[in-house]
Every structure is written in C-alpha cells, then in structure tokens.
Structure 1
Amino acid sequence: MMTLHFLHGWGYDASFWTPLRQHLPEFRHVCADAGYFGAATRPDLPETPFWAVGHSAGACSLLALEAPHCLGLISINGFARFTRDGVFPDGVPERILHRMIRQLDRQPRDVLRQFRQMCGETDPVLPTTLDHEALKTGLAALAGMDHRPLLPRWEGRLHSLHSPDDPLSPARNGLGPAANGISLPGGHLLPLTHPQDCAILLRRIIRDTPPA
C-alpha cells in the first residue's frame, strides 16, 4: 500500500486533511501536525516509497524534505516563497506577517479568525486552545522562507495544484514552471472545499508517474 505523507499549512492542524483523506482510502496516511493548537506530531518519514502532499506553507516546507524514498511532492495551494522581493512581486509584504506576529500576543483569536476568513472560510470555527508561540514561530518561519533554490532537486517529481482565484497571491500560480501544474478554480482551501476533485487529480498524478 502506497503511503501519503501530509503536512498542513499555517493556522490549521492535521484535521485539515480529513475531507481529502476520506476520498483516498486505498492509501496509507501519515499526517504531521505543527502543534498550533496542541501537541506537535512529527512522525518518522516512511522507509518505503511514499508521496509527500503539502498545503500552502506545508508545501513550501516540504520542498526542503530530504528523503530517499520520496517519489514526489504534490503541492496544493502551495508556493516556494511567501513574501515579496525584487523578483517575486506576487509575494505578501513582509511587514504584514510581522504585524500579525505582534497582534498574536494581544488578540490571537482575532488574528486566526481574520486569516481563515481571508483564506475563504465564511464563519471559521476556531480550536479551543491556541499555542501563541507556535503560531508566531510558524509566521516568522514563513516570513523568511525562500525555497526557490530547492526547486531543481525535484525535477520531474514536483506537481502543483493551484487555483487562479486563490486570495493568497503567492499561491495563485503555484510553483511556476518548475512543477507540473494543474489549475483548479476554487480558492485557497482546495482540500477542504474540493476534496473529491483533489483526490481525483492526486490519484491521477500518482498513477501516471513512472516508478523510480
């Protein structure tokens, strides 16, 4: 049985993947959790062939993965860099992330609620417990993360499912020409809002990829 290794994005937890996983019963699922709302979970990487699947910032983090058994990376609403620079005008100004970090100390639930609304949730249901420090650490990492230099190492093994109407501009074009790109309208939360479509595309990618 093929294994899928999932990593969610900022402001969510491993339960983010539940709707998509329900459409993929033929795979073994391993889910990491960044610990924004409880204990972090960092399972060992599989020692047999597997696929990495990341959403948003989770996909960006997975670009740094070094795992000899990883057959490929499927990025959903992902990006290689989040903040704007001289050659990436679609990025978010870094000052916005630093403002969010400061506000997390005073109004953490408001920050998370506004972020989720921006991602497309109309009435976010927030977890009872928020780990302020983990959330701030995640934002700080996102502000400085630039994994564009790592894209060549994934040549032929990188797939990007992205949405042209994604409200987060860094994710709108996915991973660009470095990846085998698939466009699916639907916003930034495709695994939540379009789980069946994502499952069909994910299954097709894995099926059509020649064995290593």
Structure 2
Amino acid sequence: MSMTDMPLLFVHGWGFGPEIWAPIRRAASQRECLTLDFGYFSASPHMALPERPFMAVGHSLGALWLLSEMPEQCRGMVLLNGFARFAASEDFPQGVPARLLTRMMRRLESAPDATVRDFRHQAGTDMPAPGAPQPERLHEGLQMLLRLDARPLARSTDCPIYCVAGTGDAIAPPALTQASFPPGTTIDWQTGGHLLPLTHPDACLNVIDRMMERITP
C-alpha cells in the first residue's frame, strides 16, 4: 500500500469540530481524508472507524481518544497538541486540576455558548463555533478529559506514534504533554499554541508525511 492509497483519519478535540482540519486537508488535497465528529456542534456524532487500514491524526482530546481506543486498523498515529492523560492525579501532578474540568461542566449547563467561546479564546482563536453547542455531548467530552488515561496503552502499543506540540500551549502545557507520554516518544516542538492544525498546517503535514513514509513501503 502506497502513501496515496492509505486514508488519513482526522479526529478533532474538545470545543471544536471537523472544521479545524481545513488547512491541513487543503494542503493534502491529493489524499483520501476521512473525518470523525464528536457532534459538539452538529446534528449527530459520526465516530464510525474505517474497516480498512488507515493512519490517524488526532488533535487534543481527539489524540487522547485515539490512544484510548487503539483502533485495530490504525497503522500509525500523529498526535497534534495531544496527550495520553489530561487530568491531574496522584501519579500525574503535571495534569490539569480536576476542579477546573468540573467547574466547566457546571457552567456548561447554564451557559454553553459562553463556556465554549471562553475555551476557544484560551486555546487561541476568537473564530465563532461552527454551530450551536450541544451541551450533553460537550459534557461527555469533558468527562473523557477527566477520566481517560491512555498512558499504559501508549507504553505498550506497537503502533508508531509521532507527536507535534506547541511550546506555548495554554491548554496542554509542555510539562503535561511530555509527562503523559513514555520516554522516547518522538515530540516535534513548534513555537506555537494549542491550535497547531490551524496555525502550523505545513509543519503538521510534514510530520504526517514522515509517518506515512514510515508505515508504507
């Protein structure tokens, strides 16, 4: 299977939708690109995985979800602003305090638009959300950020993993990112924030190409 035969599967993060992949997809217009959708701003989620080999590209929570799922047909992962755990715990003090996530959950119930808008601003963009927020699905996403721990799978998997991270990421700071992955994980550090798919599409695509060269003959 060649680089152009294997599809790219994109999984977005919390507070965003498939639109975050537009710059990378434009630059990779010759590739087959598939997108999953948690349904944070759409009528319904779309999370069906392909039944044939693919390469996965995940952003933020999308990266954590991919690591937690370890899809059978996935041949390699590129994780952008990703992490194998997000919430702090006794053995992960670098994580985000759980109280911040539970506070967002409570606020989401009464002010979903403001909650999403403030998060997107903190992440580095004031672009409006692509649709009306779906509070129930957004709440489920915060629960994943609070509870998912893919560190054991990241240590034991045979699936190749490359990471691209921002040195100025306000959502997933460098200390959190580095501590969540096992030693030796390839991390390509970029001078940027939490939205590398939007701000650094060429650097992201470069890593995607390198991974594709690694996993295809």
TM-score (structure 1 length as normaliser): 0.91
| Cα offsets for 1:14-63 (capped at 9, x unmatched) | 1111111111123211100000111211233241x311110001000001
- Residue from 131, 135, 140 that aligns with 2:143: 140
1:130 aligns with 2:172: no
Find the counterpart in structure 2 of residue 179 from structure 1.
185
Q: Please give the root-mean-square deviation of Cα atoms over the aligned residues, in Å.
A: 1.9
Aligned equivalents of 2:202 and 2:131: distance in 1? Answer: 29
Find the counterpart in structure 2 of residue 69 from structure 1.
73
Aligned equivalents of 1:73 and 1:104: distance in 2? Answer: 31
Structure 2: where are the runs of 5+ without partners?
none
1:72/1:22 CA distance change after superposition, 3 Å: same
Find the counterpart in structure 1 of residue 34 from structure 2.
30
| Cα offsets for 1:141-194 (capped at 9, x unmatched) | 211111111112334611111112111245653535252221111111000111
Aligned equivalents of 1:11 and 1:199: distance in 2? Answer: 22
Find the counterpart in structure 2 of residue 95 from structure 1.
99
- Residue from 174, 181, 200 that aligns with 2:206: 200
1:152/1:176 CA distance change after superposition, 3 Å: closer
Kept in 1: contact 2:172–2:194 (CA 8 A): no
Kept in 1: contact 2:68–2:153 (CA 8 A): yes
Find the counterpart in structure 2 of residue 40 from structure 1.
45
1:112 aligns with 2:109: no
1:162/1:132 CA distance change after superposition, 3 Å: same
1:86 aligns with 2:79: no
Structure 1: where are the runs of 5+ without partners?
none
**SS of residue matched to 2:38:** coil
**SS of residue matched to 1:183:** strand
User: Quick one: higher RCO (CA 8 Å, sep 6+), 1 or 2?
Assistant: 2
